[in-house]
Structure 1
Amino acid sequence: MKKVIQLLICCLGAFLVITNSFSQKGESTESIQELDSKLEEIFKSSDLTGISIVVVNDKEVFYNNSFGYADVATQKPYTNHTVHNIGSVSKTFIAAAIMKAQELGKLRLDDPINQYLPFQVIHPKFPDVPITLRHLAQHTSGISDDNAYLRAYVLENPIDDYSYLPDDFAKNLKVIAQNEDLSYAMFFENVLSKNGKWYSNKNFTKKAPGKRYNYSNIGAALAAYVVENATGVPFEQFTKQYIFDPLGMEKTAWKINDNNREEFASRYVTKNTMVPAYHLITSSDGGLITNTDEFGEYLKEMIRGRNGEGAILSKASYEEMFTRTEIGKESSGIFWGVNEKGTLNHSGSDPGVVSIAAINPSRNVGVFLMTNISADEDKQLMGAVLEIWTTLKHHRWE
């Protein structure tokens, strides 16, 4: 159900890798008013429900605006303070947590993960090759999502009627409806431990750890569980203490709570079809709840960190987190995508949400976008998101 948005990833590499004024040949907007008008035109011609955008440098917010509805039925506006889960961009926070835990002397990236787990995770085809935390953080662990990841989704309430939902979406929800809510530990043990309830050789790829890039949500969430075990602090508390609180991210959390509940958006699979309420057992791989106002602060910190001036991590930690490692035809930092020109990026999607983050360190600019509809499931919706990205790319950020 969760996808890497390939069309957008292709655009991320080019995004902001442009001239000093951040414009390219082609139609560009000169003023914020003109940009607003263009974005609103794109939005109104699409079936997007709500969308929010923030553009920053290391010190200030260039642009933060939202369009549409957080709830279509009540016409509650989607604002810069509207929150919902953002999908796999959440993984960048696992990266920061790993680096902080390493700074605290609680773990090392090249440690075998089994020294921090209450059960053993061993690649069945390569039992003598230990899986390390770096393997998890660069998607080379050999852990596969294909056979088990749908088990990580849990519906908040039973569904009696699936007929109003698109066929493929309904098919997945019928599988998810059978899932039971489990602890982090029980989920991983069931999937990855040899005696686990859902253990299978199919939960692993055919390549040895460290040899091939294979994007894994389960592997990413396992990395967060390693941080939790190594530090002795629940992952939610660890990230709040070392990331959210220092950056003033008061509404950002891994669960809906009293502090963000009123601003939580309805999520949609089509413009008038809401996604049934759900959550992720493996919340760290895609369940972060935030808004563009607060994510902009995080984005500014990431830019400062890339410039050697970060506050939440050391210069050495940022350098290691953003270092590009080539893995066959792929490349990765620590959970961040890093292209050959140094652009940092990550995208995310889950039922009813899409998000994209990109940073161009050489131009000192970062962009984040989030929407409360499954845009990756529809070509027209995805086309609108791409047009918004192109418009942002051509704007003269000065």
Structure 2
Amino acid sequence: MKKILFFLLTGFAATAQILSPIQKSHPQMDDKRLAYIDTVMEEYVQKNWMVGSTTLVIKDNSVVYFKSNGYADLANKKPMTNEAIYRIMSQTKAITSVAIMQLIEQGKLRLDQPVGDFIPEFATQTVVKEFNPADSSYTTEPAQRKITIRDLLSHRSGIDYASIGSAKMQAIYAKAGIPSGLGNFNAVLLDKMKSLGRLPLAHQPGEKFTYGLNTDLLGCLVEVISGKTLEDYFKANIFEPLGMKDSYFTVPLEKSSRMPKVYTENADKQIIPWDPTFRNLDPNYPLYPHTYFSGGAGLSMSTFDYATFLQMLLNGGVYNGKQILGRRMIELMTSPQINRGNDDFGLGFNITSKKSAQLNVVSEGTFAWGGYYGTNYFVDPKEKLVVLIMTQHTPNSHADYGNKIENIIYGSLKK
């Protein structure tokens, strides 16, 4: 009898960790106040400030709000649905960061180990000293130390971004054919990262935070160390164990209709479709078979799938009875490593600091990030909240809806 009771209790505990996409009331949340989210998002659609969105709020492992507003395709008046598969761009970074921490946990590398131990092109690096914008020529000086895995996770290696980084590094990377990772590339990831290793850094390692191709390099390290493509590694070690069935580098043709259109704004701030030639970024890239798997920006997935991943992090690395990553590893990832003004940055996440929590409703220790096309998330360990606000619209001159939704959610909390 004791064995049966133990099985029932442990079985219930494991089952209780499984999220259901069905919205339910929560004793500590005010449903009427949460409904203000719908009012705000519908207002933005009606005022032509937004085409479509999906918002998901989880409290204590239970979905308390899950609704889509507006359109997935404005021209055809196709409604946005909760099953939409979004291009999550830089939200890919959290997945890649977890993957590298899994390998650290397995003893296959160390957090402060030099990247050059695995990719020799990073063994001896230089830093830009003087740059000539007329011809993109530059002089260099030696790097004072080698860049490490920790540097990459906290974006303080000195590696910048192609296409969206500083002007000088964009020019240097363009001349060397370094891709941004945004969109579709049929190059070999390792080849491009080796080329990146031969180029100078924007500044000395550890000197400051510079958002760059650090996570693409981390993805390459996952491939080198595991012997698998990033696509295969994610599938075997993260997606399948978590039951994430709508997460892809290449979205299957049979699911392509679930992808919303991408929008931007013209000079008058009116919403227009994203042209495939705009910024050399074709939004159909998730549908093209490719071999370059960007750990910094390559994934597409449903809102619920990403919520499942975030819930695993909030659970201390456990979901549905499966240990994806150790509790202490997640604590380390969500601990401040470097200051970024009002906020801090951990190992893959922005972290709400004490100072920032005193200025806004989000709790100290909340970790968050977003994606280039307008997807955003945050996880509040104190309140046991997971929140995702997903759109496909950038730039957006009316992106203040995010702060409004935060205020609504925290205003909905009961004692």
TM range (shorter): 0.7 to 0.9
For 1:34 and 1:322, how far apart are their aligned partners in 2?
Answer: 30
Over 6 Å off, 4+ runs: 306-310
TM-superposed CA distance for 1:226, in Å, is: 0.9
What corresponds to 1:361 in structure 2? 381
For 2:114 and 2:183, how far apart are their aligned partners in 1?
Answer: 34
The one of 184, 192, 196 aligned to 2:189:
184
For 2:105 and 2:255, how far apart are their aligned partners in 1?
Answer: 30
Q: Is 1:348 the equivalent of 2:333? A: no
For 1:307 and 1:232, how far apart are their aligned partners in 2?
Answer: 25
For 1:236 and 1:364, how far apart are their aligned partners in 2?
Answer: 30
The one of 54, 57, 62 aligned to 1:60:
62
Q: What's the secondary structure of 1:245's corresponding residue?
A: helix
Range moving further from structure 2, 247-256 or 330-339: 330-339
What corresponds to 1:205 in structure 2? 202
Q: What's the secondary structure of 2:194's corresponding residue?
A: helix
Q: What's the secondary structure of 1:262's corresponding residue?
A: helix
Mark the CA change 1:30 to 1:220 in structure 2 (over 3 Å): closer, same or farther. Answer: same
For 1:153 and 1:221, how far apart are their aligned partners in 2?
Answer: 7
Give a deviation string over 1:183-215, Cα, whole Å, max 9, x none.
Answer: 21222233332xxxxx4x4xx223x21232212
Asked which structure has the greater RCO (Cα within 8 Å, sep 6+), the reply is: 1
What corresponds to 1:175 in structure 2? none
What corresponds to 2:228 in structure 1? 233
Give a deviation string over 1:82-122, Cα, whole Å, max 9, x none.
Answer: 11211212111111101111122222211111111253354
For 1:299 and 1:124, how far apart are their aligned partners in 2?
Answer: 37
The residue type equivalent to 1:191 in the other structure is L
Mark the CA change 1:47 to 1:143 in structure 2 (over 3 Å): closer, same or farther. Answer: same
The one of 269, 292, 305 aligned to 2:316:
305
For 1:209 and 1:240, how far apart are their aligned partners in 2?
Answer: 32
Range moving further from structure 2, 277-286 or 359-368: 277-286
- 1:42 touches 1:387 (CA, 8 Å); kept in 2? no
What corresponds to 2:211 in structure 1? 215
For 2:160 and 2:40, how far apart are their aligned partners in 1?
Answer: 41
Q: What's the secondary structure of 1:387's corresponding residue?
A: helix
For 2:299 and 2:195, how far apart are their aligned partners in 1?
Answer: 24
Q: Is 1:395 the equivalent of 2:406? A: no
The one of 272, 293, 306 aligned to 1:295:
306
Q: What's the secondary structure of 1:283's corresponding residue?
A: coil
Structure ID, larger Rg: 2
TM-score, normalised with respect to structure 2: 0.72
For 2:414 and 2:152, how far apart are their aligned partners in 1?
Answer: 36
- 1:304 touches 1:310 (CA, 8 Å); kept in 2? no
- 2:389 touches 2:402 (CA, 8 Å); kept in 1? no
What corresponds to 1:260 in structure 2? 255
Identity %: 23
TM-superposed CA distance for 1:290, in Å, is: 1.0
Equivalent pairs, count: 335
- 1:134 touches 1:334 (CA, 8 Å); kept in 2? yes
- 2:114 touches 2:123 (CA, 8 Å); kept in 1? no
The residue type equivalent to 1:136 in the other structure is L
For 1:154 and 1:62, how far apart are their aligned partners in 2?
Answer: 33
Stretches of structure 1 that go unaligned for 5 or more consecutive residues are: 1-19, 23-27, 157-179, 194-198
For 1:233 and 1:397, how far apart are their aligned partners in 2?
Answer: 47
Q: What's the secondary structure of 1:30's corresponding residue?
A: helix
For 2:262 and 2:305, how far apart are their aligned partners in 1?
Answer: 20
Q: What's the secondary structure of 1:53's corresponding residue?
A: strand
- 1:57 touches 1:300 (CA, 8 Å); kept in 2? no
What corresponds to 1:318 in structure 2? 330
RMSD over equivalenced CA pairs, Å:
2.9
TM-superposed CA distance for 1:131, in Å, is: 0.8
Q: Is 1:370 the equivalent of 2:370? A: no
For 1:155 and 1:221, how far apart are their aligned partners in 2?
Answer: 13
Mark the CA change 1:337 to 1:383 in structure 2 (over 3 Å): closer, same or farther. Answer: closer
For 1:189 and 1:273, how far apart are their aligned partners in 2?
Answer: 36
TM-superposed CA distance for 1:250, in Å, is: 0.6
What corresponds to 2:121 in structure 1? 119
Q: Is 1:144 the equivalent of 2:147? A: no
For 2:62 and 2:86, how far apart are their aligned partners in 1?
Answer: 24
Give a deviation string over 1:272-322, Cα, whole Å, max 9, x none.
Answer: 323412449562212220121212211211211179997311122222222
Range moving further from structure 2, 139-148 or 304-313: 304-313
Mark the CA change 1:301 to 1:259 in structure 2 (over 3 Å): closer, same or farther. Answer: farther
Mark the CA change 1:29 to 1:122 in structure 2 (over 3 Å): closer, same or farther. Answer: farther
The residue type equivalent to 1:104 in the other structure is Q
